[in-house]
Amino acid sequence: MATLKIGDHAPNFTLSSATGENVSLNDFLGKKVVVIYFYPKDDTPGCTAESCAFRDNYDVFTDAGAEVIGISGDSVASHQQFASKYQLPFILLSDSQNQVRKLFDVPATLFVLPGRVTYVIDKKGIVRHIFNSMLDFQAHVDEAIKTIQAL
């Protein structure tokens, strides 16, 4: 399996959102830049810090014509609670079988923990930026903002 890299077409997918709707990457093509961040688990310290950083900068993304999508293996019900507890205004998708994580070649940390990787995908569906860091939560947001402002 080839590794997804900058300049590649992002693979389409469809997953259930925290609101129970099916969301596909293709829904945004031609309309918005998409920032997809894969994170390990709802309501854990690092994932909460990262998600809240995206929340606190959400206006910067929407003002730039981008949509933020968080993806983890947690259930729709878990996402509902997580989004409600922290007032997350963006889309959370449930990848309970880790199929989309595999499509995007998100590596596991220490072969066990689901990885933390952010992708910026332009309106044509092309991957423009990939940022991988398990511990630098704020950098996921900063890198994504820098990339969309340069597009």
Per-residue pLDDT, averaged over 73-85, amounts to 95
Mean pLDDT rounded to a whole number for the chain:
92
Query: pLDDT digits over 22-71, tens only?
Result: 999 999 999 999 999 999 999 998 899 999 999 999 999 999 999 999 99
The neighbour count for residue 84, using CB atoms within 10 Å, is 10
User: Is the pLDDT higher at 48 or at 137?
Assistant: 48
Which domains can be identified in the chain, with CATH numbers?
15-150 (3.40.30.10)
Residue among 10, 18, 25, 47 flagged as catalytic:
47
Whether 47 sits among the annotated catalytic residues: the reply is yes
Q: How confident is the model at residue 1 (pLDDT cuts 50, 70, 90)?
A: very low
Helix 45-56 vs helix 137-150: crossing angle, to nearest 10: 30
The answer, as to whether pTM is greater than 0.95, is: no
- Residue 133 is predicted with a pLDDT of 86
Q: How confident is the model at residue 73 (pLDDT cuts 50, 70, 90)?
A: very high
Write out the H or E segment, with its range, that includes residue 93.
Answer: strand 91-94
- Say how far apart CA 116 and CA 111 lie, in whole Å: 13
With a pLDDT cut of 70, the percent of the chain lying above it is 96
Q: Which two tokens stand for residue 55?
A: 């929340």
Give burial (CB, 10 Å; 0-12/13-18/19+) of 107.
middle
